[in-house]
């Protein structure tokens, strides 16, 4: 086989989960690693369950992951080809029209069955090695409900042959299907593709990842603010590794490193906590400008946003989380805080002198007024921390009695960055204004 051709063949009968797309990732990476082609085939012969919105979601998900197909097919376009080969198969005696006794109302009275020669079928799996299965027990299995309605096994065999598929990479739940398909390939005179059956993906409780349990549509992760490079990286490492200590590989690096022989036989665990960690890595790898652009943040001050990006990189695991922070604990950077008297004095202890918070803020105000614009958080800390340390030594209210009202005066929030970071990003001028307003509240 001089040119590798792989395929991803999803059915548009529901939203596909990460396990399905891991198959697409492996098929794509193997094809591109070998200089081959990647085929997308929409298996939509289930007319009742196939929906346009599911197909659209498949295309949307592959585009987001940046797994472009070199060729695209739709199974429902091949009805005439299936009929042609079914008629030839019956005429050649390798299949026959079987009269059936319906077991249930509505069952077919005629189907087309393959004339099974029996014996054993062996094939070499690219992950598991040689597999031999006795096919005698399969009997003469059904390959079509009518000449215009082939079942899965027949349609897949015809499609793989017509599309020149050289390597079938799919989940291990398809191992049992392979002997039937090899029998059909031999009978129809088709070349046999190489097979590689991937280990299943499990939930953390080791139950199978499925549409019904624990699995989300891939676009849900996109809408949560996952980066496609992070998802691609994570999916590629579900059951595979590059053979070295690297954990974070770009698309180009994955293509260069991908090797079927490094796919493990055991099941992989889909761990959202690990996925979030991988996503945070790729978010942090972005430049501040790219981070701001890709986060789709809605703020009134782009300049201030760029100053806040390092805080978002430090805290957020997804862009959705980053957006929530901008309207939550980091909102103080974009709007004037609304202060409450009781919260300003919340850290005062009963044995503290009256108006301790007010006098502390007045002392800090003088220190902040002396700071230059563009001052770093470290320089702010160096200027203000000695005052807090002095209070700690007195054993009265401690550092909290100094730093809490300062932070609250600057942010108006119980959760926010430390006051040194707040002053650095807000700038001394704005910080002074906010501290003065807090003092005025305490005087009122």
What is the pLDDT of the chain when averaged over all its residues? 92
Query: Mean pLDDT over residues 352-368, rounded?
Result: 83
What pLDDT was estimated at residue 354? Answer: 53
At residue 40, does pLDDT exceed 60?
yes
Q: How far is CA 364 from CA 155, 215, 299, 386, in A?
A: 77, 53, 30, 11
What pLDDT was estimated at residue 234? Answer: 97
At residue 355, does pLDDT exceed 90?
no
More confident of the two residues 444 and 304: 304
When pLDDT is cut at 50, 70 and 90, the band that residue 396 belongs to is low
When pLDDT is cut at 50, 70 and 90, the band that residue 395 belongs to is low
Q: Are the C-beta atoms of residues 296 and 66 closer than 8 Å to each other?
A: no
At residue 352, does pLDDT exceed 60?
no
Query: Mean pLDDT over residues 278-293, rounded?
Result: 96
Query: Mean pLDDT over residues 154-176, rounded?
Result: 96
Which residues have CB under 8 Å from 148's CB, separation 6+?
A: 79, 82, 83
What pLDDT was estimated at residue 213? Answer: 55
Other C-beta atoms closer than 10 Å to the C-beta of 149 total 18
The answer to pTM > 0.95 is no
What pLDDT was estimated at residue 422? Answer: 97
What pLDDT was estimated at residue 400? Answer: 78
Least confident of 18-27, 61-70, 349-358: 349-358
More confident of the two residues 126 and 401: 126
Residue in this structure with the two tokens 């599309």, named with its chain if needed: 163
**What is the distance between the alpha carbons of residues 30 and 256, in angstroms, rounded to a whole number?**
9
Give tens-digit pLDDT for 178-194.
Answer: 999 999 999 999 999 99
Query: Mean pLDDT over residues 70-86, rounded?
Result: 96
What pLDDT was estimated at residue 212? Answer: 58
End-to-end CA distance of the chain: 85
- Torsion sign across C-alpha atoms 173, 174, 177, 182: negative
**What is the distance between the alpha carbons of residues 257 and 245, in angstroms, rounded to a whole number?**
13
When pLDDT is cut at 50, 70 and 90, the band that residue 357 belongs to is confident
Instruction: Give the SS3 label for residue 99.
Output: strand
What pLDDT was estimated at residue 103? Answer: 84
Q: Which two tokens stand for residue 148?
A: 């215009």
**What is the distance between the alpha carbons of residues 180 and 162, in angstroms, rounded to a whole number?**
18
Give tens-digit pLDDT for 47-69.
Answer: 888 999 999 999 999 999 999 99
When pLDDT is cut at 50, 70 and 90, the band that residue 167 belongs to is very high
At residue 31, does pLDDT exceed 60?
yes
**What is the distance between the alpha carbons of residues 422 and 424, in angstroms, rounded to a whole number?**
6
Query: Mean pLDDT over residues 397-419, rounded?
Result: 87
Long-range Cβ pairs for the range 305-308 (8 Å, 24+): 307/333, 307/425, 308/333, 308/425
Bridge partners (DSSP) of residue 74 are 42
When pLDDT is cut at 50, 70 and 90, the band that residue 367 belongs to is very high
What pLDDT was estimated at residue 211? Answer: 60
Q: Are the C-beta atoms of residues 135 and 153 closer than 8 Å to each other?
A: no
**What is the distance between the alpha carbons of residues 216 and 223, in angstroms, rounded to a whole number?**
11
Measuring CA to CA, which residue among 331, 316, 308, 334 is closest to residue 225? 316
**Helix residue ranges, H only, 245-376:** 251-257, 272-285, 288-294, 302-315, 319-326, 341-344, 356-369
Q: Catalytic residue at 211?
A: yes
Burial class (CB in 10 A: 0-12, 13-18, 19+), 374: exposed
Q: Are strands 120-125 and 129-134 parallel, antiparallel or unpaired?
A: antiparallel
The CATH architecture of the domain made up of 337-443 is: Orthogonal Bundle (1.10)
Query: Mean pLDDT over residues 98-123, rounded?
Result: 92
Share of the chain above pLDDT 90, in %: 78
Q: Which of 211, 313, 343, 381 is catalytic?
A: 211
Chain CA centroid to CA 65, Å = 9
**What is the distance between the alpha carbons of residues 83 and 149, in angstroms, rounded to a whole number?**
8
Task: Work out the angle between the directed axes of helices 356-369 and 428-443 (0-180°, nearest 10).
Answer: 160
Query: Mean pLDDT over residues 64-87, rounded?
Result: 97
What pLDDT was estimated at residue 298? Answer: 86
Bridge partners (DSSP) of residue 195 are 125, 168
Give tens-digit pLDDT for 246-275.
Answer: 999 999 999 999 999 999 999 999 999 999
What pLDDT was estimated at residue 304? Answer: 92
Give tens-digit pLDDT for 312-328.
Answer: 999 999 999 999 999 99
Half-sphere exposure of 122 (CA within 13 A, CB side): 3
Measuring CA to CA, which residue among 22, 11, 25 is closest to residue 58? 11
């Amino acid at each position: 086989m001089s040119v590798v051709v792989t395929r991803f063949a999803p059915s548009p009968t529901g939203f596909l989960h990460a396990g399905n797309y891991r198959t697409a990732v492996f098929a794509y990476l193997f094809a591109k690693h070998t200089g081959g082609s990647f085929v997308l085939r929409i298996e939509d012969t289930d007319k009742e369950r196939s929906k346009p919105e599911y197909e659209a979601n498949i295309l949307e998900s592959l585009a987001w992951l940046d797994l472009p197909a070199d060729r695209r097919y739709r199974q429902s376009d091949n009805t005439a080809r299936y009929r042609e080969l079914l008629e030839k198969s019956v005429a050649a005696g390798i299949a026959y029209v079987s009269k059936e006794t319906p077991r249930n109302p509505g069952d077919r009275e005629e189907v087309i069955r393959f004339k099974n020669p029996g014996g054993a079928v062996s094939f070499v799996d690219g992950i598991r090695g040689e597999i031999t299965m006795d096919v005698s027990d399969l009997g003469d299995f059904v390959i079509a409900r009518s000449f215009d309605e082939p079942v899965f096994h027949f349609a897949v065999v015809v499609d793989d042959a017509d599309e020149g598929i050289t390597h079938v990479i799919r989940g291990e739940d398809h191992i049992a299907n392979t002997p039937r398909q090899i029998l059909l390939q031999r009978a129809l005179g088709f070349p046999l593709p190489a097979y590689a059956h991937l280990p299943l993906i499990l939930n953390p409780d080791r139950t199978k990842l499925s549409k019904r349990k624990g699995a989300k549509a891939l676009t849900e992760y996109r809408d949560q603010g996952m980066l496609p490079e992070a998802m691609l990286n994570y999916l590629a490492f579900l059951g595979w590794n590059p053979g070295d200590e690297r954990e974070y590989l770009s698309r180009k690096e994955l293509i260069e490193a991908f090797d079927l022989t490094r796919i493990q036989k055991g099941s992989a665990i889909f761990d959202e906590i690990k996925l979030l960690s991988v996503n945070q890595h790729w978010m942090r790898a972005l430049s501040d400008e790219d981070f701001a652009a890709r986060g789709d943040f809605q703020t009134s001050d782009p300049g201030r946003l760029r100053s806040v990006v390092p805080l978002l990189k430090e805290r957020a695991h997804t862009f959705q989380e980053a957006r929530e922070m901008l309207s939550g604990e980091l909102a103080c950077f974009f709007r004037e805080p609304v202060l409450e008297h009781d919260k300003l004095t919340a850290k005062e202890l009963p044995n503290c002198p009256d108006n301790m918070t007010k006098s502390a803020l007045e002392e800090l105000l003088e220190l902040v007024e002396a700071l230059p614009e563009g001052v770093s958080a470290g320089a702010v800390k160096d200027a203000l921390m000695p005052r807090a340390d002095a209070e700690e030594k007195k054993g009265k209210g401690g550092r909290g009695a100094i730093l809490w009202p300062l932070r609250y005066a600057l942010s108006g929030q119980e959760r926010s960055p430390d006051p040194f970071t707040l002053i650095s990003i807000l700038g001394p001028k704005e910080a002074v204004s906010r501290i003065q307003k807090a003092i005025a509240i305490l005087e009122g």
